[in-house]
Amino acid sequence: MSEYEFCTAEKDGNLLIVTINRPEVMNAVHPAANFEMDKVFNDFDADPDLWVAIVTGAGDRAFCAGNDLKHQASGGDMKMPATGLGGLTSRYNLNKPLIAAVNGIAMGGGFEIALACDLIIASDNAIFALPEPRVGLAALAGGLHRLPRQIGVKQAAGMILTARRVGADEGKTLGFVNEVVPQADLMAEVRRWAAMIMECSPMSIRGSKQAIYAGLDHANLEEAVSTRYEAVVDLFKSEDFVEGPMAFAQKRKPEWKGQ
């Protein structure tokens, strides 16, 4: 889309591919990039024909090197959209699935953008870290809270308190990476994951995603199971809720409407 300067947004059927496009600074994000991506994901959320989004970085060196500290140090404007870094780290109400295609370095805010996605598929040269303490900062765009929830407190503290770098294979062992592939195969593999999601009812996927994350707010299992989730209510009212069982009974592929 020509309207964007610091990212690209490519539609492919029901799929949106968003690329952070600042390779000259290893795709570090600054306010203008964050506000552009905020608009991209606002539009993605509002578009009924878009079901899944992939987030990646331009080039073969970096997914995102985080907040652009050189821009900050130069006295540049540091305003932030309400949805946070990359328009994602403070976006808590998006029920459509996001896949991070991490094609190299994911440091600081870049790692936090990836953690804000539902799945992380990484190239074999990907590197993850929350190095903020090394420069007198802290991972306050969600990293300090998402990482412990995703891999457990001890493992997360081991990364956060040392600011150490973790490769893709270790990330998979720790549990925040879903799959590791050669860099040349990354986008094809991410598209395969997206295709598997899109074989399912979009309404079912949105209800399931909302229930996963909102359910974590309840320490009691019974409360989590019995809570009313609006996206699940929408599923029960949808055409997909009728189409799925009908297609199964008629032994044909369902024609999902996403509504």
User: What residues are labeled active site?
Assistant: 112, 132
| Overall size of the chain counted in residues | 259
Residue 184, both tokens: 């040349």
For the chain, the straight-line distance linking the first and the last C-alpha, in angstroms and rounded, comes to 26
What does the alpha-carbon distance between residue 158 and residue 171 come to, in Å, rounded to a whole number?
13
For tokens 């996605």, what's the residue?
Answer: 117
Would you tell me how many other CB atoms lie within 10 Å of the CB of residue 131?
A: 18
Nearest to 52 by CA among 234, 192, 245, 180: 192
Per DSSP, 176 falls in state S
